Amino acid sequence: MAEAVLSETTPRSGSPLLEFRDVHKHYRSGSEVVRAVDGVSFTVGAGELVALYGPSGSGKSTLLRIAAGIDAPDSGGVFVNGRDITVLSDRDAAQYRMYVLGWINQASDLLDGASALDNAAVKQLVAVRSLRRARRNVAPLLEELGLGQRLKHRADTLSMGERQRVMIARALSVDPRVVLADEPTGSLDTRRSHEVLALLRDATHTRQMATLLVTHDEHAIAYADRVYTLQDGVLHGSGPDAVPTP
């Protein structure tokens, strides 16, 4: 199954790159059943940035973990290029995260002891097995993201905005088909937030990725092509007209 997901990097004509199909995930808390995700269905097409907006505890993180193939839903599926990734083995799911998925969070996953370049190159490195090649491939990406002068700087010496861009470079380094961004602006000031969101939007359009942006930042949703809200595990849609202009 993983091979099928990995091999089909070109989206099928007319089918969405990423599709949530009637996904349910319930937890039991004492005698109470928590409906973390309750019948969620939506799609994200190639070149599309979809924002999932919701308060803390609304089910966003659960949905992301399911989309990353970490947690299995109780029912329903998440389809990438028409293949259900929720039924992959742990090892195949890791391959899916490695080569198909780009993951962006608040940059807390960076290795503080490694340079910006090596932090960005690590996924590429596993793919090409040559440090020189991986660095050569990723350096232009960091330059494109405005970090050309910071390639050799240790991650812990970078500003939060710079760390966030390293995280984006790492995610983009394997040319992912799907990007999941979990509160990527959570630790940034307003100006840096807008810069990072613009980068994400432009990369999504240019690289024809399906990007799902999970956020409770009202500024962030302005960069989305479509916006959904998640409340108590239930998805509420809003059309393109509802998207404010950045």
Binding test (CB under 8 A) with other proteins, winner from 9, 10, 41, 157: 157
Angle between helix axes 131-144 and 116-128 (nearest 10 degrees) is 130
Q: Which residue has tokens 């924002």?
A: 51
Q: How far is the CB of 60 from other proteins (least distance, A)?
A: 14
Tokens in use for 157?
């010496």
Q: Exposure string (b/e) for 172-182, b if CB count within 10 Å is 16 or more?
A: bbbebbbbbbb
Q: Please give the Cα distance from 243 to 67 (Å, whole number).
A: 24
| Selected binder of other proteins within 156, 202, 237, 242 (CB under 8 A) | 156
Binding range to other proteins, per CB under 8 A, among 23-31, 148-156, 213-221, 226-234:
148-156
Gap between the Cα atoms of 246 and 64, Å rounded: 25
Residue 117 CB neighbour total at 10 angstroms: 21
159 lies in the binding site for other proteins (CB under 8 A): no
Q: How many residues bind other proteins (CB under 8 A)?
A: 39
Work out whether 131 is an interface residue with other proteins (CB under 8 A).
Answer: yes
Residue 20 touches other proteins, criterion: CB under 8 A:
no
Tokens linked to 81: 């290029």
The verdict on 118 binding other proteins (CB under 8 A) reads: yes
In this complex, which beta carbon is closest to other proteins, that of residue 46 or of residue 85? 85
Q: Which of these ranges, 43-51, 102-110, 206-214, 232-240, lies near other proteins under the rule CB under 8 A?
A: 102-110
- Give the number of other Cβ atoms within 10 Å of residue 144's Cβ: 15
- By C-beta, is 94 or 243 nearer to other proteins? 94
> Which residues from 183-202 bind other proteins, rule CB under 8 A?
none
Residues contacting 4, CB < 8 A, separation 6+: 83
Minimum CB separation of residue 168 from other proteins in Å reads 13
Q: Does 165 bind other proteins (CB under 8 A)?
A: no
How buried is 171 (Cβ within 10 angstroms: 0-12 exposed, 13-18 middle, 19+ buried)? buried
The residues with which 51 forms a beta bridge, in sequence order, are: 213, 227
Query: Does residue 96 touch other proteins according to CB under 8 A?
Result: yes
Residues in contact with other proteins by the rule CB under 8 A: 65, 68, 70, 90, 93-99, 101, 103, 105, 108-109, 111-115, 118-119, 121-123, 125-126, 129-131, 134, 152-154, 156-157, 170, 180
